């Protein structure tokens, strides 16, 4: 840019000198006579009149060329400055207005102190009483214990059952109880990729259409609060399509590698927590999907079920009287400490591990389905935490086996499952005690009802 300016000045000066010489020659030729011609400008050049005319014309043409070239350089310089100015304005303009507002307000918010929670059992009982007395929502203790215990082994919980049993209200009430409101995102049938969850970049307006989910994921990186994202009617579209990236990221440990891509490029004006167009998926974010069992929805694939924990809600709980002790503002760090204490104080016994192992061998031999490493890891976490929440060992094992193992039989031939149901039920009774696995028994009996 500086070089073009210098060149424009030189050419303009040259054009001025050439113009002066050309003008003087023209004047000299016009005033030429025999007495004055020898004293004129042409006498210094020692040129005949015809040559002087040619030189004058050439000088005038050079002057025009220099002037035009200088003007072109000046115009080019002006355009370059304008383009640089526009580029600077674009780089300073943020395309994430909502996230930029979060960056500006984050230090202005006063964060309330976290409450001290003594035990998971008290936590579950207090939440149940809060939901009943202050929100008019009634849940069995087993559902509350399963919900909290599921948070210890996965970040994806699926509440499945018939409509009207309180699937959406459960995580909503939990958000109210922990003083961190849940974000409810209604899933649409047309959803196919992550842009339906996170938003998209609009090239015409040079701005990003930010969803509430994206804002919540961004806020989660700025605090230790527990963030609950509800995917309402998640199976009205293919979960493994629009939620594919999150399914993969949730398998990774929290850290630098667990980042979700938001944009394909990066700008200096992008939000502070962005890194090359990606945002960290914080460990304090829990996804809770609600799934209806009717003809308007799609079946949830084994890939999704294997990574999630499914809780069945097929009936409404009976109302009961309760007195709320208020909310419990708990942080993710404290909740993790309680989970670790539960595993330390209620470790899974070798006897329970042996029962699960023998059941795994039987199911693998008879049906071809097995626990798998992921389910085994979840069992070693879920069952001790469920017991710390106030439940029984067999009750936790019944819930885990029915929701994580036997549900895989839905993909098998119903006639084959009907023939194997009695044998599986006898095996469960011999391992855990007769009548100790009611959820598994109810699941197996449904095959006999179909045939």
Cite the DSSP H helix spans in 93-225: 97-105, 120-135, 141-153, 169-177, 195-198, 212-220
Residue 352: name the closest of 308, 299, 385, 396 by CA. 396
For residues 89-109, give the mean pLDDT: 73
For residues 102-113, give the mean pLDDT: 72
Distance, in Å, from the CA atom of 166 to the CA atom of 172, rounded to the nearest integer, reads 10
User: In 152-280, which ranges are E strands?
Assistant: 156-161, 183-186, 199-202, 207-210, 227-232, 259-261, 278-280
Distance, in Å, from the CA atom of 63 to the CA atom of 14, rounded to the nearest integer, reads 8
Q: Tell me what pLDDT residue 35 has.
A: 45
Has residue 22 got a pLDDT over 80?
no
For the stretch 155-203, pLDDT in tens is: 999 999 888 888 999 999 999 999 999 999 999 999 999 899 999 988 8
Q: Tell me what pLDDT residue 44 has.
A: 45
Q: Tell me what pLDDT residue 315 has.
A: 81
> Are 142 and 275 spatial neighbours (Cβ–Cβ below 8 Å)?
no
Has residue 30 got a pLDDT over 60?
no
Q: Which residue has the tokens 């640089």?
A: 84
Has residue 316 got a pLDDT over 50?
yes
Q: Tell me what pLDDT residue 359 has.
A: 94
Label residue 300 by pLDDT band (50, 70, 90).
confident
Label residue 15 by pLDDT band (50, 70, 90).
low
Winning range, highest mean pLDDT, from 215-229, 314-328, 365-379: 215-229
pTM for the model: 0.80
User: In this predicted model, which residue has the larger pLDDT, 447 or 81?
Assistant: 447
Has residue 31 got a pLDDT over 70?
no
User: In this predicted model, which residue has the larger pLDDT, 79 or 115?
Assistant: 115
> Are 114 and 331 spatial neighbours (Cβ–Cβ below 8 Å)?
yes
C-alpha angle 286-291-293 in degrees, rounded to nearest 5: 160
For the stretch 391-437, pLDDT in tens is: 999 999 999 999 999 988 888 888 898 899 999 999 999 999 998 99
Q: Tell me what pLDDT residue 82 has.
A: 63
For residues 278-305, give the mean pLDDT: 88
Label residue 18 by pLDDT band (50, 70, 90).
low
Q: Tell me what pLDDT residue 326 has.
A: 86
Distance, in Å, from the CA atom of 180 to the CA atom of 228, rounded to the nearest integer, reads 8
Has residue 33 got a pLDDT over 60?
no
Structure tokens at 116: 């001290």
For the stretch 143-156, pLDDT in tens is: 999 999 999 999 99
For residues 281-300, give the mean pLDDT: 87
Residue 289 sits at φ, ψ, to 5 deg, of -105, 140
Residue 134: name the closest of 172, 82, 188, 162 by CA. 172
For residues 347-367, give the mean pLDDT: 92
Alpha-carbon dihedral of residues 308, 152, 141, 316, nearest 10 degrees?
-20
Q: Tell me what pLDDT residue 123 has.
A: 95
For residues 51-64, give the mean pLDDT: 67
For residues 105-133, give the mean pLDDT: 85
User: In this predicted model, which residue has the larger pLDDT, 65 or 290?
Assistant: 290
User: In this predicted model, which residue has the larger pLDDT, 315 or 45?
Assistant: 315
């Amino acid at each position: 840019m500086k070089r073009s300016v210098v060149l424009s000045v030189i050419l303009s000066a040259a054009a001025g000198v050439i113009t002066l010489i050309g003008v003087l020659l023209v004047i000299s030729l016009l005033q030429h006579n025999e007495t004055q011609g020898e004293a004129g400008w042409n006498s210094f050049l020692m040129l005949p009149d015809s040559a002087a005319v040619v030189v004058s014309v050439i000088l005038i043409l050079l002057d025009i060329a220099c002037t035009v070239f200088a003007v072109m350089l000046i115009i080019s310089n002006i355009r370059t400055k304008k383009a640089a100015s526009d580029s600077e304005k674009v780089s300073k303009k943020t395309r994430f207005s909502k996230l930029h507002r979060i960056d500006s307000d984050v230090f202005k918010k006063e964060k309330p102190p976290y409450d001290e929670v003594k035990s998971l059992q008290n936590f579950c009982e207090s939440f149940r009483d809060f939901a009943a007395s202050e929100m008019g929502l009634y849940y069995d203790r087993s559902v509350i214990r399963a919900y909290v215990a599921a948070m210890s082994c996965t970040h994806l919980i699926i509440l499945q059952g018939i409509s009207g049993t309180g699937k959406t209200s459960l995580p909503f009430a939990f958000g109210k109880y922990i003083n961190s409101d849940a974000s409810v995102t209604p899933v649409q049938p047309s959803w196919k990729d992550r842009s339906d969850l996170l938003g998209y970049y609009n090239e015409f307006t040079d701005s990003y259409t930010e969803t509430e989910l994206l804002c919540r994921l961004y806020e989660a990186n700025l605090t230790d609060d527990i963030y609950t994202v509800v995917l309402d009617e998640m199976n009205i579209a293919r979960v493994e399509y629009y939620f594919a990236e999150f399914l993969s990221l949730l398998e990774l440990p929290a850290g630098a590698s667990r980042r979700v891509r938001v944009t394909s490029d990066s700008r200096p004006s992008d939000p502070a927590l962005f890194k090359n167009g990606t945002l960290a998926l914080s460990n304090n974010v829990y996804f809770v999907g609600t799934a209806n069992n009717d003809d308007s929805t799609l079946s949830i694939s084994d890939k999704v079920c294997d990574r999630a924990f499914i809780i069945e809600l097929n009936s409404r709980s009976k109302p009961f009287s309760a007195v709320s002790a208020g909310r419990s503002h708990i942080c993710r760090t404290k909740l993790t400490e309680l989970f670790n204490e539960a595993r330390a104080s209620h470790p899974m016994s070798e006897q329970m591990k042996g029962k699960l192992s023998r059941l795994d061998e039987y199911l693998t031999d008879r049906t071809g389905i097995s626990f798998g490493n992921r389910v085994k890891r979840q069992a070693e976490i879920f069952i001790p935490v469920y017991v710390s929440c106030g439940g029984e060992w067999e009750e936790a094992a019944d819930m885990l086996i029915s929701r994580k193992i036997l549900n895989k039989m839905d993909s098998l031939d119903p006639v084959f499952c009907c023939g194997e149901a009695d044998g599986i039920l006898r095996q469960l009774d011999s391992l855990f005690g007769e009548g100790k696995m009611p959820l598994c028994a109810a699941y197996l009996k449904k095959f006999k009802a179909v045939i």
